[in-house]
């Protein structure tokens, strides 16, 4: 779900990737004010502006609560500061040579509104690299589709696991 592979960094041989400046900016933000970075990150992780809902009528369609966002923030803030920073370069691992070796059925689920890992740079490219794979795109799904769109994700997972 919402995968990093095949290769997130934009290079000459990976023009679909993301500019290095984005990752440099993330690392600078973490160093400058890690708690503030987490607040901004989770707003995009959950697409809070669309899925939280501020008015009474919007709360009826709400897919994420302030409490769930706060719980995620609490976990992140409790993580190692060094580990948080060191995590960013790990996102730039190049999996392109490894993916064709996967020889089991593979389900890829990604939201079409993922602001953290763009569909076009990640999941959409995996179909060509992983044989016997299938991609399901969740309309309106943010990066945290397992939380916000569990009503769609869970049946997909159960159906996939029941296949022979």
Do residues 86 and 104 share a domain?
no
Question: Residue 52: its pLDDT value, please?
Answer: 87
Question: Residue 41: its pLDDT value, please?
Answer: 97
Reply yes or no: is the peptide bond before residue 54 cis, omega within 30 of 0. Answer: no
Average pLDDT, the chain: 93
The domain boundary residue, chosen from 90, 111, 137 = 90
62 in a structural domain: yes
12 in a structural domain: no
3 in a structural domain: no
3-state SS assignment for residue 14: strand
Do residues 85 and 134 share a domain?
no
Per-residue pLDDT reduced to its tens digit, 67-96: 899 999 999 999 999 999 999 999 999 999
Per-residue pLDDT reduced to its tens digit, 89-148: 999 999 999 999 999 999 999 999 999 999 999 999 999 999 999 999 999 999 999 999
């Amino acid at each position: 779900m919402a995968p990093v592979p095949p290769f997130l960094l934009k290079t000459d041989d990976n023009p679909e990737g993301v500019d290095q400046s984005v990752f440099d900016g993330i690392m600078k933000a973490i160093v400058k004010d890690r708690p503030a970075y987490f607040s901004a990150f989770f707003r995009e992780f959950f697409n809070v502006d669309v899925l939280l809902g501020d008015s009474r009528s919007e709360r009826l369609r709400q897919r994420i609560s302030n409490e769930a966002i706060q719980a995620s923030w609490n976990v992140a803030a409790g993580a190692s500061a060094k580990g948080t920073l060191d995590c960013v370069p790990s996102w730039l691992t190049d999996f392109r040579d490894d993916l064709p070796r996967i020889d089991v059925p593979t389900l890829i689920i990604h939201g079409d509104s993922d602001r953290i890992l763009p569909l076009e740079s990640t999941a959409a490219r995996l179909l060509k690299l992983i044989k016997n794979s299938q991609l399901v795109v969740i309309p309106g799904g943010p990066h945290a589709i397992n939380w916000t769109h569990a009503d769609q994700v869970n049946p997909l997972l159960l159906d996939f696991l029941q296949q022979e």
